[in-house]
């Protein structure tokens, strides 16, 4: 692996951050326990008398439930009980829907009620003495179905010939037009209009190492549930669950410890958890559910599938693109669980990395008989950014322009930062062209033509691809009001506490729910710098307990925002603690506060380091020896801070506003070789250049870049959730759904620049999602490689060997998708 | 999945028709039948164990004769339920005389839903082909047996 670190400041923007431990690749505090197998996951939690739950799932994609007979299962020795949709309908209310009509009329219960709408939908649950017995007993539950016609294609779903939700009366969840600038004028004034009939972003997902699950306890005396789980956003989970369970939010205590990855998949676990809560109450015993891998594939959460229709791009003769319009059709599967938020989240990155000023997106979301979707690494923006990158490459190819030059000509320039997009978002900082140069340098762009000729001699078609992508971070929930003006969500917040204990231990609790991102490490780095100790002296408590960790309404780990909100909260709390420690020391020393500094885990006089009080001394004074303190000074050495990013309100009419605050850049470049006979694609060179502002811990950033790249390469070449016409998922296991192995991964060359964010507390931007840069990049390279073989247009985000082979054999079929009208 | 073909059987059409329309003889043709119960002349039920990986897939299959035009044509629907699988099959055959022999054109539309349908797609086609071969071989033997018994 090659790491190229460019000059650390790529723009003139200033940051107030002084680097100490921040900026260093401090070894991750979490890794010792994890690599030694000492992590504690929800599945490690055991309770006396607990029962194990297995869900009875629909084999049909669409069917009416005629009857459910659980008697045989109940008769089995060791079976504690069952629950069906009928009971759920009595004891709970449907989850609230965020959409306007018709989507708002959808009734979504924790178990199927009356009808199943996707293969794998839970229709009942069985609880038994062992996990295996629960599974065997579930097989004895007799469910009689009356199969219904199935719709698995978004465009077909629009016709409403098969309607999933009778209450809604339509498959449309949400529809709206976003119109910024004047795209009609841009198209009228363009020298060329490039038209693309259809592009398709396929259905795939992340596959966390740890499947979903929970152990749920019910306290009959208080009516409270404790949910030991791996939910990644429990605050929002509780907002869904509590009203459905007809209880208060504080009666749902979520406890997480280590979590083995989530990627957004673990945001929408409320249906399963409600079933567990009902079972725990019904049976009077703790119940535990660990999702099977096949169930995770079949019915947990997929990423949004999106089809782009009737794209028209306005291009000037010099290659400047002035705007585009598109109809976007999003397929959210059977239920809009987190949706329709995906209908707006993409707008955080409306013009991608480019300076398009005129954009119209006619957006529709529909239900189909497939697994519901949930946020998935790069949620909703990835699909849109893939569109923008496809547009750029197709425009370049059709007009005979250099894709590198087209990008550089159209990129938002470093000197334009901060840059306001046509829909009111502000790109805070960045230098896309510089990142592209670095990426091209890493893959030896200047030798591409020689390598192309050499590969040709070996029967290989060589292509260069670029993926320019943004990772928008720090979500403004006000964007939901652009979908439904009645929603009372806006802004964002995150909490943390930092305290100094009686023995001088620095203890941090987070509002976030880390799943492997190294929050314990980076939080410790920030605190250490502020209060003058080492990260090892800072104990960041593992996991999250909603009863004991400080949290805010939007707490969680999602949307690439920990670097801003999570660490912003830590920084705020640590600064409050620092100020109080200094004041305390100044009283003890009898000197002004500005004569005291914190360093080496002590408060000491700046002018005389021998005069020092160790942290333990400060903690002891406040907690155990405070009688001598003046009456008007009541220190706690225990501080909570809520980081509330300032977005302002969104303009619901114009559909504009600051939808996110930070924009990390990822520019990927790769070289692929395609076997002319078989269509087999091999990535022979790959570079990823990241600019996430100040890197709190470069090694963790590097790890995120690697992970996001692997996800993207898996998606573009291997991973797809394919359904047959009956709605049967054909890739429900790791044999058919091939996640890239180490041997599938190219050697990654990485580079970085740092354009500090002028708005983020630490100058750091969230960057973990990666924006799908690898998908865009490999699609781009495949199209470049196919150029001499008929010039096929890459029209799908998923390009396994057989599709590439088809494009080789019949390039015209793809070229019919594109038309150029020149004036 | 649709499978179809033709098979020449060395027996008169009437003999073949009799074999194909006698539930007991039909049961003998099917692979892995553990029990067979006739409800009436148009409905019968079989409990079968389909060889599919480890242990086989146990299913209860309900048959319904949909249509028949003796001695030429019949169509049949089969609905099976088992752990992790649902079977839906419609099948038909058409018999025509070929001198002293009988030519049978047959077709079946087989659909398997549920996890087995999901996971078994790669192996389903060869298994179906294998079972079709077994059924046709057994039919041949059964027809010869009937022919011998009648002669």
Q: What is the pLDDT of residues A220-241, one digit of tens each?
A: 999 999 999 999 999 889 999 9
Say whether residue A298 is in contact with chain B using an 8 A CB cutoff: yes
Q: Single out the residue of B74, B76, B66, B64 nearest to residue B38, CA to CA.
A: B64
pLDDT value at residue B24: 81
pLDDT value at residue A771: 81
Tell me which chain A residues have a C-beta less than 8 angstroms from the C-beta of B114: 59, 119, 728
Interface test with B, best of A728, A732, A735, A738 (most B CBs within 10 A): A728
Interface test with B, best of A58, A59, A138, A734 (most B CBs within 10 A): A59
Q: How far is A370 from chain B (nearest CA, A)?
A: 13
Q: What is the ipTM of this complex?
A: 0.72
Q: How far is A211 from chain B (nearest CA, A)?
A: 18
- One fold for both A176-205+301-478+649-808 and A493-643? yes
| Sign of the C-alpha dihedral computed for residues A500, A504, A508 and A509 taken in this order | negative
Please give the average per-residue pLDDT across A742-749, as a whole number. 93
Q: A180 falls in which pLDDT band (50, 70, 90)? A: very high
Tell whether the model's pLDDT for residue A414 goes beyond 90.
yes
Please tell me which of the candidates B113, B115, B119 has its beta carbon nearest to residue A726.
B113
pLDDT value at residue B83: 75
Q: How far is B82 from chain A (nearest CA, A)?
A: 9
Which residue reads 């199969």 in tokens?
A: A147
Domain count within chain B: 1
> Any residues with CB less than 8 A from the CB of A187 and at least 6 apart, and which?
A193, A312, A314, A323, A325
Please give the average per-residue pLDDT across B100-127, as a whole number. 81
Query: Which segment of A204-218, A574-588, A797-811, B31-45 scores lowest on mean pLDDT?
Result: B31-45
Q: B31 falls in which pLDDT band (50, 70, 90)? A: confident
Cα–Cα separations (whole angstroms), residue A584 to A370, A539, A602: 61, 22, 12
- Given a contact cutoff of 8 angstroms between Cβ atoms, the answer to whether B20 and B26 are in contact is yes
Tell me which chain A residues have a C-beta less than 8 angstroms from the C-beta of B121: 724, 730, 736
Do A294 and B117 count as a contact with CB atoms less than 8 A apart? no
Tell whether the model's pLDDT for residue A377 goes beyond 80.
yes
Do B115 and A726 count as a contact with CB atoms less than 8 A apart? no
Find the closest chain A residue to B84 by CA distance.
Answer: A59
Do A59 and B111 count as a contact with CB atoms less than 8 A apart? no
Please give the average per-residue pLDDT across B68-77, as a whole number. 92
Find the closest chain B residue to A724 by CA distance.
Answer: B118
Q: Single out the residue of A3, A14, A758, A773 nearest to residue A419, CA to CA.
A: A758
Find the closest chain A residue to B80 by CA distance.
Answer: A144
Counted residue by residue, chain B has a size of 151
Say whether residue B86 is in contact with chain A using an 8 A CB cutoff: yes
Please tell me which of the candidates B84, B86, B118 has its beta carbon nearest to residue A730.
B118
pLDDT value at residue B135: 85
Tell whether the model's pLDDT for residue B53 goes beyond 90.
no
Query: Which segment of A127-136, A594-603, B59-68 scores lowest on mean pLDDT?
Result: B59-68
Which DSSP state fits A554? T
* Backbone phi and psi for residue A658, each to the nearest 5 degrees, phi listed first: -80, 100
pLDDT value at residue B151: 52
Please give the average per-residue pLDDT across A1-27, as a whole number. 57
* Backbone phi and psi for residue A227, each to the nearest 5 degrees, phi listed first: -115, 100
Interface test with A, best of B2, B83, B113 (most A CBs within 10 A): B113
Peptide bond into B71 cis (omega under 30): yes
- Given a contact cutoff of 8 angstroms between Cβ atoms, the answer to whether A122 and A289 are in contact is no
Name the percent of chain A lying above pLDDT 90: 94
Tell me which chain B residues have a C-beta less than 8 angstroms from the C-beta of A733: 119
B24 or A78: whose pLDDT is higher? Answer: A78
Work out the number of other CB atoms within 10 angstroms of the CB of residue A99.
Answer: 24
Q: A670 falls in which pLDDT band (50, 70, 90)? A: very high
Please tell me which of the candidates B111, B115, B117 has its beta carbon nearest to residue A294.
B115
Q: B30 falls in which pLDDT band (50, 70, 90)? A: confident
- The Cα–Cα gap between A812 and A807 comes to 8
Please give the average per-residue pLDDT across A203-226, as a whole number. 97
- The Cα–Cα gap between A375 and A232 comes to 11
Tell me which chain B residues have a C-beta less than 8 angstroms from the C-beta of A728: 113-114, 117-118
Q: What is the pLDDT of residues A697-728, one digit of tens each?
A: 999 999 999 999 999 999 999 999 999 999 99
pLDDT value at residue A592: 98
Q: B117 falls in which pLDDT band (50, 70, 90)? A: confident
- The Cα–Cα gap between A324 and A390 comes to 12
pLDDT value at residue B54: 56
Residue-range domain boundaries for chain A: 42-148+211-259+266-299, 176-205+301-478+649-808, 493-643
Please give the average per-residue pLDDT across A160-183, as a whole number. 98
- Given a contact cutoff of 8 angstroms between Cβ atoms, the answer to whether A378 and A434 are in contact is no
Question: Could you tell me if residue B94 is left (phi over 0), alpha (psi between -120 and 50 degrees) or otherwise beta?
Answer: beta
Say whether residue B53 is in contact with chain A using an 8 A CB cutoff: no
Counted residue by residue, chain A has a size of 823
pLDDT value at residue B122: 66
Would you tell me which CATH number, out of the four given (3.40.50.970, 3.40.50.10800, 3.40.50.720, 3.30.365.10), belongs to the domain A176-205+301-478+649-808? 3.30.365.10
Q: A427 falls in which pLDDT band (50, 70, 90)? A: very high
Tell me which chain A residues have a C-beta less than 8 angstroms from the C-beta of B89: none
Alpha helix segments (H runs only) across A607-697: 615-624
CB burial string A725-743: b at 16+ within 10 A, e below: ebbbbbbbeeebbeebeee
Do B84 and A139 count as a contact with CB atoms less than 8 A apart? yes
Tell me which chain B residues have a C-beta less than 8 angstroms from the C-beta of A139: 83-84
Q: How far is CA A692 from the centre of its chain?
A: 16
Domain carrying residue B116: 2-150
Do B119 and A294 count as a contact with CB atoms less than 8 A apart? yes
pLDDT value at residue B88: 86
**Half-sphere exposure (Cβ direction) of A296: Cα atoms closer than 13 Å:** 20
Query: Which segment of A39-43, A61-65, A225-229, B22-26 scores lowest on mean pLDDT?
Result: B22-26
Tell me which chain A residues have a C-beta less than 8 angstroms from the C-beta of B118: 119, 294, 298, 728-730, 732
Domain of B75, CATH number, reads 3.30.530.20
pLDDT value at residue A445: 96
Peptide bond into A751 cis (omega under 30): no
Please tell me which of the candidates B86, B121, B122 has its beta carbon nearest to residue A59.
B86
pLDDT value at residue B48: 87
| CATH architecture assigned to A493-643 | 2-Layer Sandwich (3.30)
Say whether residue B84 is in contact with chain A using an 8 A CB cutoff: yes
- The Cα–Cα gap between A367 and A373 comes to 10
Q: What is the pLDDT of residues A524-541, one digit of tens each?
A: 999 999 999 999 999 999
* Window A:122-161, CB contacts with B under 8 Å: 139
Cα–Cα separations (whole angstroms), residue A230 to A242, A291, A449, A544: 18, 11, 49, 10
Tell me which chain A residues have a C-beta less than 8 angstroms from the C-beta of B125: none
Structure tokens given for A277: 């809560």
Q: What is the pLDDT of residues A379-391, one digit of tens each?
A: 999 999 999 999 9
> Any residues with CB less than 8 A from the CB of A387 and at least 6 apart, and which?
A199, A201, A308, A311, A326, A328
Q: How far is B111 from chain A (nearest CA, A)?
A: 9
Which residue reads 């710098």 in tokens?
A: A529
- Given a contact cutoff of 8 angstroms between Cβ atoms, the answer to whether A183 and A323 are in contact is yes
**Helix, strand or coil, per DSSP, at residue A101:** coil
- Given a contact cutoff of 8 angstroms between Cβ atoms, the answer to whether A323 and A181 are in contact is yes
Integer Rg of chain B from CA: 15
Do B114 and A59 count as a contact with CB atoms less than 8 A apart? yes
pLDDT value at residue A335: 98
Q: Single out the residue of A746, A140, A229, A198 nearest to residue A443, CA to CA.
A: A746
Q: A16 falls in which pLDDT band (50, 70, 90)? A: very low
Say whether residue B95 is in contact with chain A using an 8 A CB cutoff: no
Top CATH class, A42-148+211-259+266-299: alpha beta
Do B111 and A736 count as a contact with CB atoms less than 8 A apart? no
pLDDT value at residue A13: 33
pLDDT value at residue A5: 42
Tell whether the model's pLDDT for residue B58 goes beyond 90.
no
Please give the average per-residue pLDDT across B64-91, as a whole number. 88
Tell me which chain B residues have a C-beta less than 8 angstroms from the C-beta of A729: 118
Do B118 and A298 count as a contact with CB atoms less than 8 A apart? yes
Say whether residue A730 is in contact with chain B using an 8 A CB cutoff: yes
Tell me which chain B residues have a C-beta less than 8 angstroms from the C-beta of A55: none
Do B118 and A732 count as a contact with CB atoms less than 8 A apart? yes
* Backbone phi and psi for residue A465, each to the nearest 5 degrees, phi listed first: -130, 155
* Window A:17-76, CB contacts with B under 8 Å: 59-61
- Given a contact cutoff of 8 angstroms between Cβ atoms, the answer to whether A165 and A151 are in contact is no
Q: What is the pLDDT of residues A258-309, one digit of tens each?
A: 999 999 999 999 999 999 999 999 999 999 999 999 999 999 899 999 999 9
Q: A1 falls in which pLDDT band (50, 70, 90)? A: very low
Q: How far is B115 from chain A (nearest CA, A)?
A: 7
Query: Which segment of A295-304, A436-445, A808-817, B30-39 scores lowest on mean pLDDT?
Result: B30-39
């Amino acid at each position: 692996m090659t790491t190229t670190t460019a000059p650390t400041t790529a723009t003139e923007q200033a940051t107030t951050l002084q680097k100490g431990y921040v900026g260093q690749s401090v070894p991750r505090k979490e890794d010792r326990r994890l690599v030694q197998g000492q992590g504690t996951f929800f599945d490690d939690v055991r309770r006396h008398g607990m029962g194990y739950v297995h869900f009875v799932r629909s084999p049909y994609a669409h069917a009416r439930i005629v009857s459910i007979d659980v008697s045989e299962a109940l008769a089995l020795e060791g079976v504690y009980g069952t629950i069906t949709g009928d009971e759920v309908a009595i004891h709970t209310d449907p989850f609230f829907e965020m959409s306007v009509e018709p989507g708002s009329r959808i009734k979504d219960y924790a178990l199927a009620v009356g009808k199943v709408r996707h293969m794998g939908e839970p229709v009942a649950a069985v609880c038994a003495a062992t996990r295996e017995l629960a599974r065997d007993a579930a097989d004895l539950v007799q469910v009689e179905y009356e199969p219904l016609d199935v719709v698995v294609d978004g465009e077909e779903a629009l016709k409403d010939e098969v309607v999933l939700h009778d209450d809604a009366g339509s498959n449309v969840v949400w529809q709206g037009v976003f119109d910024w600038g004047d795209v009609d004028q841009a198209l009228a004034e363009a020298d060329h209009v490039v038209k693309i009939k259809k592009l398709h972003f396929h259905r795939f997902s992340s596959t966390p190492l740890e499947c979903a699950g929970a152990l749920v306890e019910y306290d009959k005396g208080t009516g409270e549930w404790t949910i030991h789980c791996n939910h990644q956003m429990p605050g929002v989970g509780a907002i869904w669950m509590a009203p459905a369970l007809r209880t208060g939010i504080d009666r749902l205590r979520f406890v997480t410890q280590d979590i083995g990855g989530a990627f957004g998949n673990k945001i929408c676990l409320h249906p399963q958890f409600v079933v567990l809560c009902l079972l725990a109450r019904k049976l009077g015993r703790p119940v535990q559910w660990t999702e099977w891998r096949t169930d995770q594939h079949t019915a947990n959460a997929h990423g949004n599938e999106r089809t782009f229709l009737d794209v028209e791009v306005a291009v000037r003769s010099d290659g400047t693109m002035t705007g585009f319009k598109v109809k976007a059709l999003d397929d959210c599967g059977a239920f809009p669980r987190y949706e329709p938020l995906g209908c707006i989240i993409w707008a955080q990155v409306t013009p991608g990395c480019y300076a398009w000023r005129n954009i119209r997106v006619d957006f529709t979301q529909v239900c189909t008989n497939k697994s519901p979707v949930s946020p998935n690494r790069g949620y909703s923006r990835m699909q849109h950014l893939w569109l923008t990158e496809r547009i750029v490459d197709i425009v370049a190819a059709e007009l005979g322009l250099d894709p590198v030059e087209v990008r550089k000509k159209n990129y938002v320039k470093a000197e334009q930062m901060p840059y306001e997009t046509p829909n009111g978002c502000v790109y805070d900082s960045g230098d896309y062209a510089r990142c592209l140069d670095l990426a091209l340098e890493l893959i030896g762009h200047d030798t591409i033509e020689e390598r192309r000729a050499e590969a040709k001699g070996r029967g290989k078609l060589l292509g260069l691809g670029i993926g320019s992508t943004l990772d928008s971070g720090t979500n403004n929930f006000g964007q939901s009001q652009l979908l439904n003006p009645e929603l009372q969500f806006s802004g964002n917040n995150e909490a943390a506490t930092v305290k100094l204990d009686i023995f001088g231990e620095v203890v941090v609790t987070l509002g976030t729910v880390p799943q492997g991102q190294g929050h314990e490490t980076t939080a410790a780095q920030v605190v250490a710098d502020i209060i003058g100790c080492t990260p090892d002296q800072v104990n960041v408590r593992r996991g999250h307990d909603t009863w004991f960790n400080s949290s805010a309404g939007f707490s969680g780990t999602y949307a690439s925002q920990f670097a801003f909100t999570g660490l912003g909260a830590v920084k705020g709390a640590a600064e409050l603690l620092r100020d109080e420690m200094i004041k305390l020391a100044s009283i003890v020393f009898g000197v002004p506060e500005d004569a005291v500094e914190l360093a080496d885990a002590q408060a000491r006089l700046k002018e005389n380091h021998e005069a020092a009080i160790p942290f333990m001394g400060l903690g002891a004074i406040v907690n155990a020896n405070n009688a001598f303190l003046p009456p008007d000074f009541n220190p706690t050495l225990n501080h909570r801070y809520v980081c509330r990013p300032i977005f302002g309100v969104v303009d619901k009419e114009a559909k504009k506003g600051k939808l996110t605050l930070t924009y990390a850049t990822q520019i990927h470049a790769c070289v692929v070789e395609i076997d002319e006979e078989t269509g087999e694609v091999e990535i022979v060179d790959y570079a990823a250049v990241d600019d996430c502002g100040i890197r709190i811990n470069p090694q963790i950033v590097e790890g995120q870049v690697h992970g996001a790249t692997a996800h993207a390469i898996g998606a573009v070449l291997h991973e797809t959730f394919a359904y047959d016409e009956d709605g049967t998922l054909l890739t429900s296991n790791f044999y058919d759904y091939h996640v890239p192995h180490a041997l599938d991964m190219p050697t990654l060359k990485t580079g970085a620049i740092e354009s500090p964010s002028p708005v983020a507390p630490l100058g750091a931007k969230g960057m973990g999602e990666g924006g799908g840069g690898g998908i865009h990049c490999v699609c781009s390279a495949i199209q470049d490689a196919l150029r001499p073989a008929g010039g096929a247009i890459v029209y799908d985000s998923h390009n396994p060997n057989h599709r590439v082979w088809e494009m080789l054999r019949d390039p015209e079929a793809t070229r019919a998708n594109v038309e150029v009208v020149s004036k | 999945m649709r499978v179809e073909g033709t098979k020449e059987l060395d027996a008169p059409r009437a003999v073949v028709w009799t074999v194909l329309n006698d539930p007991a003889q039909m049961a003998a043709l099917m692979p892995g039948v553990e029990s067979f119960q006739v409800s009436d002349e148009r409905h019968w039920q079989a409990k079968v164990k389909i060889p599919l990986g480890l242990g086989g897939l146990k299913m209860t299959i309900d048959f319904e004769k949909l249509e028949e035009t003796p001695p030429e044509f019949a169509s049949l629907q089969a609905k099976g339920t088992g752990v992790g699988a649902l079977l839906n099959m419609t099948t038909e055959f058409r018999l025509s005389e070929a001198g002293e022999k009988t030519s049978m054109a047959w077709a079946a539309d087989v659909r398997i839903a549920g996890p087995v349908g999901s996971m078994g797609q790669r192996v389903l086609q060869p298994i179906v082909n294998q079972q079709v071969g077994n059924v046709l071989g057994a039919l041949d033997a059964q027809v010869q047996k009937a022919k011998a018994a009648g002669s």
